[in-house]
Amino acid sequence: MSTTMAALSSSSINYAEFVRLTLPTTVYTFCNASAPITVDGIEFEGLGSLMGISEIQRNIKASGADLKITITGLDPNNVALVLNAPIKGSNLEVWRGFLDSNNQIITSPTQQFFKRYMGIVNNIAIEESFDIRARQRLATCIISSSSMRFILENRNAGMITNQKNWQAVYPADTSMNRVAVIASTYFDFGKTPIGGGQATPNVL
């Protein structure tokens, strides 16, 4: 189902990217507009050109490509706070909002605010440089995110097949009780069997 973006029919198109980073303890919202913008009661801090975002894949088929968001101008004294924050594994959402002449989201005929990306943060890095003119260090935070498609492709599914884990789900089932014995038994495949064992009769 396609989405009609009425703002694209305008002769002058002005837009901004909006980001919501959901950590276990708090939520950060920011955008690359020049001033704070409130959408549906949520205020997005305006970072302007200090925020950068990589290209979002727009393939017809869902893509597992990563997304990178950069935030420059960090105080080097606060770098430790960024690195210690539980950012990895957090939810990352990105919207594109189209702005009117007052740099506010267009609401007519419908609100021109559309989700573009949703993923999980898989890495965070800090890059530092030295500004010769300002005679100070500049820190840049780079947040890398994997899309939900990539997360689902690499998720672990199933159950550990041993007695303890199996009976935690199926307490009365004894089908995994001999796993430990079989796992520690040596099987010489291909060798002529020695001795005679008695097969267990089939139980119908």
pLDDT computed for residue 37 by the predictor: 92
- CA distance to 23, 71, 73, 90, 142, per residue, from 44 (Å): 16, 14, 18, 18, 19
pLDDT computed for residue 136 by the predictor: 77
pLDDT computed for residue 95 by the predictor: 92
| Residue spans of the chain under pLDDT 50 | 1, 203-204
Q: Is 192 exposed, middle or buried (0-12, 13-18, 19+ CB in 10 A)?
A: exposed
pLDDT in tens, 2-25: 566 777 777 678 889 999 999 988
> Residue ranges per domain, the chain?
6-153, 157-186
